[in-house]
Structure 1
Amino acid sequence: MFWLGTILATVLSCVVIAVVILYQKRLKEYQITLLKQRLSIILEAEHKERARIARELHDGVCSELLCVINYLQIIKLYQDKKTKKDALKQIKKISLNCYKQLQVLSYHLAPPHIKDNALECIFSDFINLIKKSTTIEFSYHYTDASFQIKEKEKLILYRVVQELVQNIIKHSSASKVSLKLVWEQDKLIILISDNGVGYDSDFKSDNAKKGIGLSNIHARLKEINARFKHIREDNSNTIGIYFENQDNKSSNSR
């Protein structure tokens, strides 16, 4: 009986060890698959963003530079002073417009001073730049910051707000948009409100059918353990991003 009990205990131990090893292997495979899916979403979103910028450069800046070349030809061919003066005036106007377009595009590609500037200053510059390129009325408010945010976290929050604002401009038919940064003791709440028609933002599960823009936002926010909430009413939409100071939580748990 003793040997039988020993054999059964050994077999049971081997089975338990095998189950644990199999579980760990499958868990690791699932985590790798999930990571690949998130990476794929982000890469696809970045590819679409590059395509959008290339399209805007081609349709906007390149077309206007072609007009500048045509006006330069007019200056070269015509001797009439008034014609030359009018052509120079148009060249100045087009060049200024090209400069504004390139300024907006370059800011979207790489917002300056992410590392050194506070998040509220970065968003202030962003909103001021957006105001120059749209007729939508923007307002911006923030409370005093209560903790420091790392460079990676600032960049992700900036990219998410940038994507959401672009979605509002393109799809919501809004005439007014407000951005608010509410700092609490160990939490930052970013609220984006508009008076447009809204759009689908079901973030309840990873398997939900979402557009690539919203999927990208979802993946980015997961990187910094931030939450997303969308409140839709009859004549308004409010998007809330909730970010907790992980450093403060870690120090409190020790």
Structure 2
Amino acid sequence: MLLLQAYNQHANVSVVLFFGTIGMLALTIGLIVFIIFHQRKVIRYQMTLQKMENEQQKMLLNASIRLQEEERQRIAADLHDDAGPLLATARLYLNENLVNLDKTTQLQSIYNAKQIIDDTIQLIRNISHSLMPPTLKNFGLESAVNDTFQKISGSGNINASSRFHDYKERLPIDNELIVFRVVQELINNILKHSNASFIHLTQNTNGNKFYIRMHHDGKGMTQKDFEKLTKSASGLGLKNIQSRLKVLQGRIFFEKDQSQTYYKVTIELHREEPTA
């Protein structure tokens, strides 16, 4: 009798152990399956993000290429439509028959040709200045931005002001040009679309961070609006801003003030610490 009870107890323990093992095995398999499916889901999500990032990079690259192509086409058009006819006209005054003309006519032709050549030189100088403004090249970003805001304010249509608080060490000239073009594009957007009564720009640094902030009281956008437009087929100007700042590993932020009275745009750049 005792032997039978012991046998039954042993059998019960074996059954419990068997089903317990089956349960643990099922739980382990379920956990492994869950991990596998979760990993696959994470991988698919990462691939989707990577695809979106690649598409965004492609859009920025295309925007940059279009910007450069538009610049080249504009310069080519200016040279072809304006400089070309001027030089062709000057050539007419200085043709091979000039030596056969009387002295008065010769002097008049030479004078006319000189005037045309002077106009052509000024035209080419203007094209050169549009590529690299002389104030920026000779005196730096602060002077170029202040000069721009003074001209805007001088028009009498809008109150414009700018102030650089601690621009002691200039950025490299190529970087200054990029920042200046971004500021120009932002100003252009504000003047065209915002109907603002004032624009105010400030500059400051914090450690190795360089900031330019623009405030205006017109119609503006938030960061969500900006990101939406840069991912759409439109908004070429904003894509140009983003692609230019990407060269400098910079960022731009659009927001509305907590008082809901004005919009603020912040450009943030990382500047290298000067070597000892």
TM over 0.5: yes
Identity rate, percent: 19
Q: How does 1:235-250 map to 2 (within 5 A)?
A: 239-243=264-268
Distance (Å, rounded) in 1 between the aligned partners of 2:195 and 2:117: 33
1:71-107, Cα deviation, whole Å (9 max, x unpaired): 12213255411232132022112212212212322x3
Q: Does 1:29 align with 2:47?
A: yes
Unaligned runs of 5+ in 1: 114-120, 249-254
RMSD value, Cα: 4.6
Q: Does 1:203 align with 2:223?
A: yes
Which of 50, 70, 73 is residue 89 of structure 2 equivalent to? 70
Q: Does 2:212 correspond to 1:212?
A: no
* Contact kept in structure 2, 1:189 and 1:240, CA below 8 Å: no
Tell whether the 8 Å contact from 1:71 to 1:87 is kept in structure 2 after alignment.
yes
Q: Which moved more, 1:222-231 or 1:68-77?
A: 222-231
- Distance, in Å, in 2 between the alignment partners of 1:94 and 1:175 is 38
Which residue of structure 1 aligns with residue 156 of structure 2? Answer: none
In structure 1, C-alpha distance between the alignment counterparts of 2:172 and 2:83, rounded to whole Å: 40
Q: Could you tell me how far 1:129 is from its partner in structure 2?
A: 8.4
Letter matched to residue 212 of structure 2 = I
Q: Following the alignment from structure 1 to structure 2, what is the Cα–Cα distance between the partners of residues 182 and 89?
A: 47
- Superposed displacement of residue 230, structure 1: 5.1
Maintained 8 Å contact 1:178/1:194: yes
Q: Distance in 1 between matches of 2:209 and 2:152?
A: 29
Per the normalisation by structure 2, the TM-score is 0.61
| Greater Cα radius of gyration, structure 1 or 2 | 2
Report deviation, 1:122: 4.5
Q: Distance in 2 between matches of 1:84 and 1:246?
A: 54
Q: Which residue of 2 aligns with 1:190?
A: 212
Match of 1:48 among 66, 90, 105: 66
Structure 2 counterpart of 1:48, which letter? R
Compute the displacement of 1:244 (Å).
7.4
Decide whether aligned partners of structure 1 residues 43 and 71 sit closer, same or farther in structure 2, where only a CA change above 3 A counts.
same
Deviation at 1:241, TM superposition (A): 1.0
2:254 corresponds in structure 1 to 229
- Between the two proteins, the alignment pairs up a number of residues equal to 231
The 1:246–1:73 alpha-carbon spacing in structure 2 relative to 1, beyond 3 Å, is closer
Where 1:243 maps in the other structure, the secondary structure is strand
Match of 1:90 in 2: 116
CA shift in 2, pair 1:52/1:89, >3 Å? same
Task: Map Cα deviations across residues 39-85 of structure 1 (whole Å, 9 max, x no partner).
Answer: 12212211321232133213322222211221122132554112321
The one-letter code matched in structure 1 to 2:59 is I
Measured at CA, do residues 130 and 86 of structure 1 come closer, stay the same or move farther in structure 2, by a change above 3 Å? farther
Helix, strand or coil: the match of 2:214?
Answer: strand
Distance 1:142 1:84, change over 3 A: same
Partner SS state of residue 144, structure 1:
coil
Q: Distance in 2 between matches of 1:149 and 1:179?
A: 18
Separation (CA, whole Å) in 1 of partners of 2:174 and 2:89: 45
Q: Which residue of 2 aligns with 1:251?
A: none
Unaligned runs of at least 5 residues, structure 2: 1-18, 154-159
Structure 2 residue identity aligned to 1:214: L
TM-score by length of 1: 0.66
